[in-house]
A and B are shown apart, each in its own frame.
Chain A
């Protein structure tokens, strides 16, 4: 059964997330920086009345910064109870991927991608990388007394 995916671009490469994990996509008008947050956190944005952190995919993937454009998007993802945005160069496509198209990533990609890519899909001539969203946004566990 093919699964709907949201496709986005970062530095020319194409990545995908299952559409079921994506709440919405927003244009980017700047984020409020949070001092002391990990460097890959671009800051806070307000999305339909909610304040959510935004992770800069370029910083996370170790890519050079780029001028934000009208194409820049925040892909708002849901991860359990957490809602986190991913700042990408553009996102304008939705694809149905058949599990048969999805393969484990080649070793070269695994090395280069620091575990952020968990699979690749061949779509015609294009290679779309399925990202490991929890890992990309960082798997920090909430603090507290650790007992809950």
Chain B
């Protein structure tokens, strides 16, 4: 139907905003919970939570997701009472409110994934409604039965919550029905359901927007019925809808006269509602921030990359001119200036992509709260992240590693309260995540716990290896694929995945470092060091089996010439070739074969003319390539799709020919393809 097309236009903005509001709501609810547990009131957080829910409700009504509207409505209602009680909330209320947020979040995700939105789960609304009763100490207040003047078609599509909203109304607001009939002529003058929605939103709170098909006034065949709560006059609303054939009708005989005491006793909250209505607009004008889709930033970066490619061609052309004796002094000066400008431009674009680490970690408190409940351990999470920033591409990759470390800390490292007491520690365990910008484009993060520490002997026994002498050695054992110190996989960690993922993300994917410090009985610290950005990097471009590839300059230790006459093939080493490098033998791997580019005629992978030396688990390994083509700055585009997310391939880049060129991670490629590595490809 036409309606769905219009909604699709509206959706991206809705999703972005809903996500942000949900994040805020979770934060405030956690704050409320913290106060509740200390027996305190937290009027500000209750109010902020209320505002977030109120806005979510309004936005959701505009995109017509009834289940979210209902949940938000009842949550809001219970908070209204809590606010009236001075921001006090019974402890039993927190869990249903959490559940409500989770359910809203789930539905927002469904919308984002283009899936149908599931209805409100059975019993949730009743539980939320009961909160209201609990807060009031009475039965749920039934709204005064004011008849809504609605035809059956519309009436049938209203939920109880929406009906209640319209009947009771917000203080002093009238419930009205605005009918908007779209048409080609109106669309051509810019009046569509979207523009009407936007304009109406400034005047009224949309309780519901219903598209109705069937003959409409003015010869149309589709009518959008907007059910609103408003202070504005009929004329103003009509004007917002572009005038007749739109029409406005009151839904209740008189301006809704809600139970008068409610209005008079909660002027403050109504003021909050009023602010909620005004604020988004204010923020948009005054706040000075802009939400931009990442794809647009990527596009800008892509354009910059094209410029960089072009500049290197220009540089070569000028060099050729110079060599031919042409007067190029001024040209060279301009070229240098151009280079500086490009670097500045690059820095500016990278800055655009930076997100606050604090925002990235927004969900961790919620995670820890869940762990507290599932493990029965008392845990306090401290975040000391200041205002450090990271490239969004790095942040998105890093988050799962941090989630893993925090989860492991609570699950494995921290002891149960009794155990801690017996050890003379405070019952409440501490997990601290701190970060600070390090030197030269690196960010350092640490995840620290005050738990039992890693038992090196137990780890060694379990892995069937000698007890590691150093903490690096211990970390190596912990990071073995599938290693787990627990026999039973717990619901939170386990399933045989663990530290290897953390290491893979930190070291292999991000090119960073991972260290471990642990002291028995006192706790463990994991230190991570990751680059601030992986989006732009200096790369070596080379050719192998007819295709071009790129590899990060930083990962290559040395470039050597391969002299076929000086290779050794130790007997019995099943085809391993050694190349001599400054007096020591280094295994030489055929990149051609690793890349599955070997010719099918049975010929063994070539040993190339050049080799790149890379450290793989600390040991130098040479990768044979055919030809080196040069060094240039590239834009790394990670491969997100599971079909092509394979070990050894860091991403793709465009070298200027419009074809993707693979950016390789040689160490990971070698490890994945050698015998002891896992071949983690999806089947």
* Contacting residue for A34 out of B302, B662, B679, B680, CB 8 A: B662
Chain A residues lying within 8 Å of B325, measured Cβ to Cβ, are none
> What are the interface flags for A118-148 relative to B under an 8 Å C-beta threshold, 1 for contact and 0 otherwise?
0000000000000000000110111111111
> What are the interface flags for A20-61 relative to B under an 8 Å C-beta threshold, 1 for contact and 0 otherwise?
000000000110111111100100111001111101000000
Least distance between B276 CB and chain A CB atoms (Å): 31
Q: Does A82 contact B (CB under 8 A)?
A: yes
Measured CB to CB, the nearest residue on chain A to B492 is A147
* Contacting residue for A140 out of B497, B547, B642, B659, CB 8 A: B642
> What are the interface flags for B379-408 relative to A under an 8 Å C-beta threshold, 1 for contact and 0 otherwise?
000000000000000000000100110010
> What are the interface flags for A81-120 relative to B under an 8 Å C-beta threshold, 1 for contact and 0 otherwise?
1111000000000000000000000000000000000000
- In whole angstroms, how far apart are the Cα atoms of A107 and B342 in the complex? 62
Measured CB to CB, the nearest residue on chain A to B664 is A35
Measured CB to CB, the nearest residue on chain A to B549 is A32
Q: Does A65 contact B (CB under 8 A)?
A: no
Least distance between B378 CB and chain A CB atoms (Å): 22
Q: Does A80 contact B (CB under 8 A)?
A: yes
Chain B residues lying within 8 Å of A49, measured Cβ to Cβ, are 298-299, 302
**A138 adjacent to B643 (CB under 8 Å):** yes
**A44 adjacent to B660 (CB under 8 Å):** yes
Chain A residues lying within 8 Å of B403, measured Cβ to Cβ, are 145, 147
- In whole angstroms, how far apart are the Cα atoms of A81 and B644 in the complex? 15
**B596 adjacent to A53 (CB under 8 Å):** no
* Contacting residue for B643 out of A29, A33, A55, A146, CB 8 A: A55
Chain B residues lying within 8 Å of A147, measured Cβ to Cβ, are 400, 403, 407
- In whole angstroms, how far apart are the Cα atoms of A143 and B110 in the complex? 20
Chain A residues lying within 8 Å of B672, measured Cβ to Cβ, are 36
**B642 adjacent to A143 (CB under 8 Å):** yes
Contact flag A145-B501 (CB < 8 Å), given A30-B659, A36-B647, A49-B299: yes
Contact flag A38-B597 (CB < 8 Å), given A84-B641, A140-B642, A144-B400: no
Chain B residues lying within 8 Å of A82, measured Cβ to Cβ, are 640-641
Contact flag A36-B646 (CB < 8 Å), given A46-B654, A49-B299, A145-B404: yes
Q: Which of B627-674 contact A (CB under 8 A)?
A: 637, 639-649, 652, 654, 658-662, 669, 672-673
Contact flag A38-B400 (CB < 8 Å), given A32-B662, A45-B660: no
**A38 adjacent to B683 (CB under 8 Å):** yes
**B643 adjacent to A38 (CB under 8 Å):** yes
Measured CB to CB, the nearest residue on chain A to B595 is A35
- Number of residues of chain A lying within 8 A (CB) of chain B: 35
- Number of residues of chain B lying within 8 A (CB) of chain A: 45
Least distance between B81 CB and chain A CB atoms (Å): 35
* Contacting residue for B637 out of A32, A36, A51, A141, CB 8 A: A51
Q: Does B465 contact A (CB under 8 A)?
A: no
**B682 adjacent to A38 (CB under 8 Å):** yes
**A33 adjacent to B114 (CB under 8 Å):** no
* Contacting residue for B495 out of A45, A141, A144, A146, CB 8 A: A146
Chain A residues lying within 8 Å of B642, measured Cβ to Cβ, are 138, 140-143
- In whole angstroms, how far apart are the Cα atoms of A107 and B680 in the complex? 35
* Contacting residue for A46 out of B404, B644, B660, CB 8 A: B660
**B643 adjacent to A137 (CB under 8 Å):** yes
- In whole angstroms, how far apart are the Cα atoms of A148 and B400 in the complex? 8
Least distance between A35 CB and chain B CB atoms (Å): 4
**B658 adjacent to A32 (CB under 8 Å):** no
Measured CB to CB, the nearest residue on chain B to A29 is B659
Measured CB to CB, the nearest residue on chain A to B545 is A33
Contact flag A81-B113 (CB < 8 Å), given A33-B597, A140-B682, A148-B400: yes
* Contacting residue for B596 out of A35, A81, A138, CB 8 A: A35
**A145 adjacent to B400 (CB under 8 Å):** yes
**B660 adjacent to A51 (CB under 8 Å):** yes
**A53 adjacent to B646 (CB under 8 Å):** no
Least distance between B117 CB and chain A CB atoms (Å): 15
Least distance between B435 CB and chain A CB atoms (Å): 20
Closest 3 CB pairs of A and B: A140-B682, A36-B646, A140-B642
Beyond the given pairs A34-B649, A38-B682, A84-B641, 14 more chain A to chain B contacts, judged by CB atoms under 8 angstroms and listed by A's residue number, are A30-B659, A34-B644, A35-B646, A36-B646, A37-B646, A37-B681, A41-B643, A41-B644, A44-B662, A138-B643, A140-B643, A140-B683, A145-B404, A146-B497
Could you jot down 14 A-B contacts, CB within 8 Å? A29-B659, A32-B662, A33-B595, A35-B649, A36-B648, A36-B649, A36-B672, A41-B643, A44-B662, A49-B298, A50-B295, A55-B643, A82-B641, A147-B403
